[in-house]
Amino acid sequence: MGGVSLALYLLLFSNEEMVLKASTGGGWSFMVPIAIAFTFSFIHGAFTGGFWEMLGLKAKVRKEPKRWSN
């Protein structure tokens, strides 16, 4: 996943002009940066989650939900 993440960043920055033109064309072109952000978020999140798991670090899990005190 790290390689995929790196490849996505390289593609984005090497095709910066094309991405800019595609996202400023009007109509539904506003969806281009949103789609790019979701793609990067998913790939980078999967890589980061796997990285921390490989290191043996996991989030602490609560057995019962936290309650607000009055």
Domain total for the chain?
1
The stretch 1-19 carries a mean pLDDT of: 94
22 part of a folded domain? yes
64 part of a folded domain? no
pLDDT value, residue 62: 77
Domain that holds residue 24: 2-54
Q: Tell me the pLDDT of the chain averaged across its residues.
A: 90
pTM equals 0.71
26 part of a folded domain? yes
Helices (H), the chain: 2-14, 16-23, 31-54
* Residue 43 pLDDT grade (very low, low, confident, very high; cuts 50, 70, 90): very high
69 part of a folded domain? no
14 part of a folded domain? yes
Closest to 4 measured CA to CA, from 42, 54, 56: 42
| Residue 19 scores a pLDDT above 90 | yes
